[in-house]
Amino acid sequence: MALALITLLSAYLPVLILKKLANFSIFDGFFFVMSPFVFIILLNNLFFYKIGFYKIESDIVYLHALAVAVFGLGSLLVDMRRQMIKVQPVLMQYETPDLRLSWLYTIVIGAIAIVFLDIVMRVQAHGLANVLATAQGTEQGSIAAHLTLLLNPLSVLLFDYYCEKKNKACLFLWAIALVCVFATFIKYHIISAVLTLAIYIIIRRPSLVKKVIIVAGIGIVLFFVLNYAIGFNVRDIEVETSFYLKHLWKYLAGGTTNITNLEQYIAGYKIELSFWDWLLAILKSF
């Protein structure tokens, strides 16, 4: 197992080091796609398996190491090609759109009002406890549900305006938009809002990467715990503190940690395939 983890790091770290030495951007597709898998595997097999989670088996770790190496090599080749033909990253040239703030305010306030009204109507119709139990603060498929998703990019735009123009009204509306997204009590909505903003800031303002990672990490944990804690409090349910840690890790890393059980899953459906045969079949399907 130790050799598998070393192999994973040996595939991951050299790519970042080479990008840094060549003055390429570290914060690109390779970083944002592969880094979560690397950190999840390391944290799970070094720490979280001790509190009851499955260890990710060596074969799976080697498979991830191969994916990291191939993705990293492709990323380096693209970076070198881009440098040769003098292509500049589009987002680095991006400037805050010259939109009338009145239009932005109107759209954001309208979206917040509709989402808030939908939440209030659902609470009145079904009761707060039932809404929290189903984790559906807005009616699925409704206009409010779509506007909740729209608030994610709008909140990024508001925050960018605040950074560029120091407009406190934008900061206030950004905070209200996040509260409104959280009030739907759909965990991935608020988590995706935090991650979207974090990724955007990391790309646009690399000097803030350390602060952004810390604040985003704290924000995700805080919103996740509050989501459960408020629901438990309303329904008079008591849980141990360890519940939050275990469920947070299951939520963030469940897909990766449970891939080890894929063979048992396939066997349960009586498919005569090993994991590697299944993987080969997937590749051939393209």
Tens of pLDDT, residue by residue over 16-49, are 999 988 888 888 889 999 999 999 999 999 998 8
Residue 61 is predicted with a pLDDT of 92
Question: 174 Cβ partners below 8 Å, 6+ apart?
Answer: 155, 158, 159, 162
Furthest-apart CA atoms within the chain: distance in Å: 63
Mean pLDDT, residues 74-100: 68
Higher pLDDT, 126 or 243: 243
Are the beta carbons of 176 and 115 closer than 8 angstroms?
A: no
Higher pLDDT, 262 or 106: 106
DSSP H helix total and E strand total for the chain? 13, 0
Q: What share of the chain is helix, strand, coil (3-state, %, to 5)?
A: 80, 0, 20
Whole-angstrom distance, CA of residue 45 vs CA of residue 51: 11
Can you say how many angstroms the Cα of residue 131 is from the centroid of all Cα atoms in its chain? 24
- The burial of 158, by beta-carbon neighbours within 10 Å (0-12 exposed, 13-18 middle, 19 or more buried), is given as buried
Tens of pLDDT, residue by residue over 119-140, are 888 888 777 777 776 666 666 6
Query: How many residues are present in the chain?
Result: 286
What's the token pair of residue 139?
């009616």
What's the token pair of residue 227?
């989501």
**Residue 247 reports pLDDT greater than 60:** yes
- The burial of 122, by beta-carbon neighbours within 10 Å (0-12 exposed, 13-18 middle, 19 or more buried), is given as buried
**Residue 10 reports pLDDT greater than 70:** yes
